[in-house]
Amino acid sequence: MNDQNTTHFGFRQVPEGDKAKLVRSVFDSVAGKYDLMNDLMSMGVHRIWKRIAIQLSNVRHGDKVLDLAGGTGDMTKLYRERVGDSGQVVLSDINAAMLNQGRSRLLDEGVVGGVRFVQIDAEKIPFPDNTFDCVCIAFGLRNVTHKEAALASMYRVLKPGGRLIVLEFSHPPEGPFKKVYDAYSFKLLPALGKMIANDAESYRYLAESIRMHPDQEKLKAMMETVGFERCEYFNLTHGVVAIHRGYKF
């Protein structure tokens, strides 16, 4: 098996065709505890990261937004508040279990009108060209097998003047903070996953997938390669998370 036919799943090399299935098994396992684990893992700070991403999206009343890998719907809910009754948000995820969690949560919270639910592979977005004012993918891009294909698909469905927002774990600079972060990721995080979700392996994969994801500058360059302009990124929490933004003109 040569390198052209393999990709990474965490630190393991696997056949490209197997990665989506392996990722799906991870999120099938954690879907029921996903929101609780997010709060515990980040001590609630993920809610601040997401609100900053919403602000940077510049989404306005009446806009149409695609929330890729939207999972349990917290970004969709925030976008729905901004676009109002004249706008629309599409909550999408490749994983049916996560999408069902998102649909149930939003319906329970009274978010009914102005939201569509669609199971989507980010590499093959099934919408016409120039459909959305904003495409957002939060904590999902690192799980995509062919990131360049996904970014190109996002670019295609954006309207001219539209924005891409990528909120993702990233790479803190070398130093004392990174050492503490690494210890937390590879020791405490799997233990927390075992205790709360009875699944240490899925959270070990999470830590590994973050390390294999392109760093801030590489992801910026990937966005530029597929056509995005005025690309920039904003480091949060010492670079543990970064928000990338690019425009289609």
| 93 annotated among ligand-binding-site residues | yes
Task: Write the CATH number for 98.
Answer: 3.40.50.150
Please name every residue paired with 235 in a beta bridge, in sequence order, or none if there are none.
Answer: 242
d(CA 18, CA 11): 14
Residue 34: predicted pLDDT: 75
| 50 assigned to some structural domain | yes
What is the largest distance, in Å, between two alpha-carbon atoms of the chain? 52
Sheet holding 64-68, edge to edge: 115-119, 88-93, 64-68, 132-138, 158-169, 241-247, 229-236
Residue 36: predicted pLDDT: 74
- DSSP states of 142-177: GG-S-HHHHHHHHHHHEEEEEEEEEEEE--PPSSHH
- DSSP states of 199-234: -HHHHHHHHHHHHHS--HHHHHHHHHHTT-EEEEEE
| 107 assigned to some structural domain | yes
| 37 assigned to some structural domain | no
Block mean pLDDT (10 aa), the chain, length 249: 71 88 80 76 90 98 97 95 97 93 94 94 97 97 95 98 97 94 89 82 88 96 98 97 98
Domain that holds residue 53: 3-31+42-171+214-247
Three-class SS state of 37: helix
Evaluated on CA atoms 65, 105, 234, 184, the torsion sign reads: negative
Strand duo 6-9 + 12-15: pairing:
antiparallel
Residue 29: predicted pLDDT: 75
| 117 assigned to some structural domain | yes
| 201 assigned to some structural domain | no
| 122 annotated among ligand-binding-site residues | yes
Residue 28: predicted pLDDT: 78
| 194 assigned to some structural domain | no
Backbone φ and ψ of 7, nearest 5°: -145, 175
| 243 assigned to some structural domain | yes
- Six token digits for residue 140: 């999902």
Residue 4: predicted pLDDT: 58
| 109 assigned to some structural domain | yes
Domain count for the chain, please give it.
1
- Six token digits for residue 212: 């294999």
- Where does residue 28 rank: exposed (0-12), middle (13-18), buried (19+ CB within 10 A)? middle
- Six token digits for residue 228: 């995005």
Q: What is the pTM of this model?
A: 0.91
